[in-house]
Amino acid sequence: MTARILPAALALITATAAHAQQDSWTAFHGDLASTKFSNAGTITPETVGDLERAWEYHTGDVSDGSADLPQTVWSATPIYANGTLYLGTPFYRIVALDPATGAERWTYDSKSRLEPLTQPALKNRGVAYWQSGQTGICEKRVFLGTMDAELHAVDADTGQRCADFAEGGVLNVNQWNEVNDVFPFSLLQPPLVVGDVLLLGWAGKDWAYAVAPPGNLLALDARTGELLWDTGFIPPEMIPQTGTANIWTAMTADAELGLVYAPVSSPSPNYWGGDRTEPLPLATSVTALDIASGEVVWTFQHVRHDIWDYDTPSAPTLVDITRDGQTIPALVQATKQGFLFVLDRRTGEPLFPIEERPVPESTAEGEVTAPTQPFAMTPAPVGGAMELPEVWPLADIASFGQCSRDREKYLYQGIYTPPSEQGTLMFPGTAGATNWGGVAVDPRSGILYSNASRIVQLIQLIPRAEYDALNPAGGGSEEGYSPQQGSPYGIYLTDWSNWAGIPCWKPPFGTFSAIDLASGELLYEVPFGKAQFHGFYGLSDWGSPTLGGPVVTAGGVVFIGASMDSRVRALDAATGEELWSDLVEAPAVSIPAVFTHEGEDYAVFAVGGNSILKPEVSDQAVAYRLKR
Amino acid sequence: MNKVNAIPLLPALAAVVLAGVALSAPFGNTGVDGTLGAGLALLGSVFVALVVAVVLMRPLPRGWFAALVTLAIIAALLTALAAYFLMQMLLLGAMVVTLLALAFVLSGHRRSLS
């Protein structure tokens, strides 16, 4: 076991005021630093009971998948900028609303193909906003990506296309998809805007192919759409054998350091790596690149030879830590494994100990697992991710011991147990302890807030001949069968449950935690939300799996949707106690936007649903403010 | 059936309406609309209302009477339990009131028999 640690002494977190003093919500995570901290101060634990719906808006862009259109997954963070609220929709439209009334100001339709070209659903995580600082048409812009790899630029005041951007306001990003182009570069996550530069990743088709487009980060001129640089994450010599290691989620930047922090995903195929045993140092990493040149400045690979699809799911969060009188610009990377890696964002050096621990070996054909993996035990992993939950007696009794028998039958040797033909219990599951919601940090106190899922899944490798004989429908789905074409194995992935669909593992199914980043101490971890099965709600102690993330406010309140039970909630940041909730139409799997408009604080949720949690979908946007 | 005997039927019918609303959400999202759980709650409510109506509206042989009353109580308890886990507190309340009203009427019935 090795340990890498900076000299540790008394540590103190100080405010990163430069990153957090905002009344607007101009980016996916609120600001470039992805703190998800809002200066909204009037909504406090004392006043939160006075929240009311200010307005509700339906985009009309929703499909449950029962008709011609695929199901929609709407995880967009609303953007508040230019005195307007901007929404991207899963039909790839932009809607501009009055933040106080929800009245529609304008809409823009990209007329994108509504086909599941890469993802199994029509997905959108919102829009990006840019302003030049000058006045005139298209000096303020809203950018929207589409499933079919187009980036649209429209004027933020009128919704008219910006003629000077690419071809009449539309950039064909797929023109740079030249290698292993088995699927298009789907632009489901809005670009990150740093100055006049758009930083753009893309989403692909998971689990379908062994060889796929190699992941890259594109930098574009926000005014013209011109490609400034293109940095790849797969070594050129490995491109014939693998692909992806792309950036499908949000990014973070430190404009002062001139660095963008890229959460890089896992390489293809996701659950078998026998054709990519050579090092892929940038895959499943957080990687810092020079915004001016695209040069890789440092990288931290948090999974070696990833065969669990533990891709880096969220933008890292920037916060400054003071140790021994020195301020250290830090970065916190939340992961699917539940680890919170706290690094010096200038160098990538860990600020808390990281242990290289031996992990189990694979017995799959051709597989060569990494002998060790990095474990960050301080701060403690969120959601109790290091220990497989016990068999749930309720589910076991209801299935006459099926869960206990499964526990004996399937392989589990700790986190990083490799996928196997016998079937491996995977905890955390592929949707992760944390996902695109990431974490929130109050820069004044240095306290980090995180929701986490506790889902156990079963992953099974199916030899090619057997898989082909099965010839299952689907592929590139979020669970079930997927082919991993070009590898010796297809896969079967599902939640570990009994015949009745009851989870076989003991609750809680989801938690909410607060961690002091100065000491790494866990301040609290409480069950969060309520699970729901066939309409029946679980007990409060059972919690809920979550997708989406929290926002912490200056008033000491955390706003979060994310749970299965279709509630949006306000929690007491000091204790995690639920202070307020409201029933919405589907799970609000987005990150809320919390901002101040004309002197009043608003929390706005996009309520879209996600089939990973439950089937209900919606097109509802809801705004809350204190009663007048 | 006298007016007193009809008392348990009113909350039982209210429960049917409430369970129907929970399932079909005519006035907006209920959090459980369209779910199996809400469907079961509606079935339970309808069953309770029917049994209560049969028990209280017409004379029955003693054995049938006891069996149906027992069934009504079990169904009402299960429906109330379902309502609790569906977070349909009005439905839960209606079921509890149905049970109390049934107990009240049955205690009067027993007194009149003795």
User: What is the per-residue pLDDT across A369-396, written as a single tens digit (0 to 9) for each?
Assistant: 999 999 999 999 999 999 999 999 999 9
- Nearest alpha carbon to residue A488 among A273, A231, A288, A253: A273
Rounded Cα distance between A604 and A78, Å, is: 7
Among all residues of chain A, which has the CA nearest to that of B87?
Answer: A537
Helix (H, G, I), strand (E, B) or coil at A326: strand
User: Could you report the per-residue pLDDT of B14-62, keeping only the tens digit for each?
Assistant: 999 999 999 999 998 999 999 999 999 999 999 999 999 998 877 888 8
Helix (H, G, I), strand (E, B) or coil at B98: helix
pLDDT over 90 (residue A286): yes
Chain B positions touching A535 (Cβ under 8 A) are 32, 35-38, 86
Backbone angles phi, psi at A240, to 5 degrees: -65, -15
Query: Per the domain annotation, does B20 fall within a domain?
Result: yes
Q: Which domain holds residue B14?
A: 9-113
**Is B29 within 8 Å of A536 when comparing Cβ atoms?**
no
Chain A positions touching B32 (Cβ under 8 A) are 535
Chain B positions touching A534 (Cβ under 8 A) are 35-37
| DSSP β-ladder status, A37-38 and A551-553 | parallel
Among all residues of chain A, which has the CA nearest to that of B22?
Answer: A535
Shortest distance between the Cα of A563 and any Cα of chain B, in A, equals 12
Six-digit token string for A444: 């004044």
Helix (H, G, I), strand (E, B) or coil at B112: helix
Query: Per the domain annotation, does B81 fall within a domain?
Result: yes
Identity of the residue in A537, A566, A585 whose CB atom sits nearest the CB atom of B85: A537
Q: Which residues of B touch A (CB under 8 A)?
A: 29-32, 35-38, 82, 85-87
Identity of the residue in A533, A534, A583 whose CB atom sits nearest the CB atom of B31: A583
Identity of the residue in A535, A584, A585 whose CB atom sits nearest the CB atom of B32: A535
Our count of domains for chain A comes to 1
pLDDT over 50 (residue A104): yes
Query: Per the domain annotation, does B17 fall within a domain?
Result: yes
pLDDT at residue B113, as a whole number: 54
Mutation site, A534, A544, A605, A617, interface B, largest B CB count within 10 A: A534
Rounded Cα distance between A269 and A467, Å, is: 16
Rounded Cα distance between A547 and A591, Å, is: 9
C-alpha gyration radius of chain B = 14
Rounded Cα distance between A533 and B37, Å, is: 8
Q: Which segments of B1-114 does DSSP mark as H helices, in order?
A: 9-24, 36-57, 62-85, 89-113
Rounded Cα distance between A416 and A424, Å, is: 10
Cα–Cα distances (Å) from B33 to A538, B25, B38, in that order, read 17, 6, 7
Whether residue A585 lies within 8 A of chain B, CB to CB, comes out as yes
Whether residue A544 lies within 8 A of chain B, CB to CB, comes out as no
Rounded Cα distance between A370 and A360, Å, is: 9
Mutation site, B30, B32, B40, B81, interface A, largest A CB count within 10 A: B32
Chain B positions touching A585 (Cβ under 8 A) are 29
**Is A536 within 8 Å of B85 when comparing Cβ atoms?**
yes
Residue A17: pLDDT band (50, 70, 90) is very low
**Is B82 within 8 Å of A565 when comparing Cβ atoms?**
no
Contacts of A162 (CB under 8 A, 6+ apart): A137, A138, A141, A153, A154, A155, A169
Average pLDDT, chain A: 94
| DSSP β-ladder status, A122-124 and A72-74 | parallel
Q: Which amino acid is at B60?
A: L
Chain A positions touching B31 (Cβ under 8 A) are 565-566, 583
pLDDT at residue A8, as a whole number: 36
Strand partners, A214: A244
The reply to whether the predicted model has a pTM over 0.80 is yes
% residues pLDDT > 70 (chain A): 96
Q: C-alpha A328: how far from its chain's center?
A: 26
Q: What is the CATH number of the domain that holds A160?
A: 2.140.10.10
Q: Which domain holds residue A68?
A: 3-626
Chain A positions touching B87 (Cβ under 8 A) are 537
Q: Chain B neighbours among A 117-156 (CB < 8 Å)?
A: none
Query: Per the domain annotation, does B32 fall within a domain?
Result: yes
User: Could you report the per-residue pLDDT of A149-192, keeping only the tens digit for each?
Assistant: 999 999 999 999 999 999 999 999 999 999 999 999 999 999 99
Our count of domains for chain B comes to 1
The answer to whether residues A428 and A335 touch, using CB atoms and an 8 Å cutoff, is no
| 3-class SS shares of chain A: helix, strand, coil, % to 5 | 5, 35, 55
Chain B positions touching A565 (Cβ under 8 A) are 31
pLDDT at residue B106, as a whole number: 83
Identity of the residue in B30, B31, B37 whose CB atom sits nearest the CB atom of A534: B37
Query: Per the domain annotation, does B67 fall within a domain?
Result: yes
